[in-house]
Amino acid sequence: MTPTLRSLQTIVPDTQLVQEQVRDVFAAQPDLNRLGQRIVGTSFDVSGIATRYTVIDELQLEARPENPRFFDGEQNLLLSPGTKTRNELYIEAAGPLFVEAARRAIDGAEGITAADITHVVTVSCTGFFAPGPDFLIARELQLRPGVQRYHLGFMGCYAAMPALRAAAQFCDADPEAVVLVVSVELCTLHLRTSNNPDTIVASSLFGDGAASGIVTNRPLAAGERGLRLDRFETVITPLGESDMAWTIGDEGFEMVLSTYVPQIIEQHVVDALRPLLADHEPLAAALEADTMSGAVEHWAIHPGGRSILDRVQHRLELTEEQLEPARGVLHDVGNMSSATVMFVMQRILHGQSAAGERVIAMAFGPGLTVESALLEVAEG
């Protein structure tokens, strides 16, 4: 029996960031030189993003907190809080998001209750605390005392994929398993002003969000839709280790996201798909013949940035319609690290997809690592 991802849920915080307004704030910072100002303008304008969301309420232009930590609205000044301050807000904001996303996934899965959950897998790379989010979910939702808990931390943008793979493996090992997967990323906690092009690009892309779902062998209820998790693969490209990285600094976590990343992904995306499709002869043949657009109906590509989507689309000869879910997520909410690919999956599942149609999901992260999955739309 093939494990199925069901009850896909997504959440964004209440505070909306309008891309043009954020661009103007970053461009007006006093420590930015002329080249930095030009890079800010270009990066924000070509990002393909209209809005993002943040847990930092004081980033609202009209907000005037008495003791601002991240943004002084009266002076239009981005502040530089230390890593401790940033992580304290992560603890305060991420915990409730983990719990609410988990609650929605359980409530949205017909015939499944909190008492049925056998495993919890949580994912995040934008903060730390212990006991962690897996513990909070188990306590707040009153899961069974023996629920197995796992946390995938600091892996980066691809981490939801190994979380779903682990959930599927739990279900393969135990046909009665019901696995709750929750990803929460608060990327805006680590945005900063800088003349460094990598930092500017990261500041133009990342937002906050949460995604969750249930993985189980249990049959779907009548009319319920899900994604069968057929196969997963991991590939590390032969170059790119220094082009995408995530480290901890004194003023937050520091992202390295070089302008070469889209080119590296374009060069190696076919090689990354070969092991995923090796046991599926028709799809493997379509990959070599550059006819993947017709062989696989839907593509849940992690929208790491507009250039990444452009390069993947060009190399695999995908249609605009096939890229619309990824581009739509990027436009509406930006790049939310590991949670983002689940947002794209949700759009495909509840969009113009039909039972039996195939989905290839791909996410990219430090290494440079490419995680991929072969999925199938299912309906009860």
Note the pLDDT tens digit of each residue in 49-63: 999 999 999 998 777
Of the listed 125, 157, 171, 187, which one is catalytic? Answer: 157
The span from the CA of 228 to the CA of 4, in Å, is 4
The span from the CA of 367 to the CA of 162, in Å, is 14
The span from the CA of 55 to the CA of 139, in Å, is 23
Question: Are residues 6 and 220 in contact, defined by beta-carbon separation less than 8 angstroms?
Answer: yes
User: Tell me, what's the pLDDT at 85?
Assistant: 97
pLDDT averaged over every residue in the chain: 95
Q: Looking at residues 362-374, what average pLDDT do you find?
A: 96
Looking at 180-184, 245-249, 256-260, 357-361, which range is the least confident one? 256-260
User: Tell me, what's the pLDDT at 255?
Assistant: 85
**What is the reported pTM?**
0.97
CA angle, 12 as apex, 117 and 312 as ends, to 5°? Answer: 95
Question: SS3 for 10?
Answer: strand
Q: Looking at residues 151-162, what average pLDDT do you find?
A: 97
User: Tell me, what's the pLDDT at 203?
Assistant: 93
* Residue 21, both tokens: 């307004």
pLDDT in tens, 184-202: 999 999 999 999 998 999 9
Q: Looking at residues 21-39, what average pLDDT do you find?
A: 95
pLDDT at 301 over 80: yes
Q: Looking at residues 254-281, what average pLDDT do you find?
A: 92
- How does residue 246 score in pLDDT terms, banded at 50, 70 and 90? confident
Domains of the chain: 225-379 (3.40.47.10)
The span from the CA of 292 to the CA of 362, in Å, is 14
Looking at 68-82, 235-249, 330-344, which range is the least confident one? 235-249
pLDDT at 239 over 90: no
Residues 6+ apart with CB under 8 A from 321: none
**Position with higher pLDDT, 61 vs 26:** 26
Question: Are residues 368 and 244 in contact, defined by beta-carbon separation less than 8 angstroms?
Answer: yes
135: enclosing H helix or E strand: helix 133-140
pLDDT in tens, 313-325: 999 999 999 999 9
Question: Are residues 226 and 378 in contact, defined by beta-carbon separation less than 8 angstroms?
Answer: yes
**Would you state the torsion angle of the CA atoms of residues 25, 29, 33, 39, taken in this order, to the nearest 10 degrees?**
-20
The span from the CA of 123 to the CA of 137, in Å, is 12
Tell me, yes or no, if 157 is annotated catalytic: yes
Question: Are residues 55 and 70 in contact, defined by beta-carbon separation less than 8 angstroms?
Answer: no
Cis peptide before 131 (omega within 30 of 0): yes
Residues 6+ apart with CB under 8 A from 103: 141
Question: Are residues 127 and 168 in contact, defined by beta-carbon separation less than 8 angstroms?
Answer: no
The span from the CA of 129 to the CA of 88, in Å, is 9
Question: Are residues 235 and 172 in contact, defined by beta-carbon separation less than 8 angstroms?
Answer: no
User: Tell me, what's the pLDDT at 242?
Assistant: 81
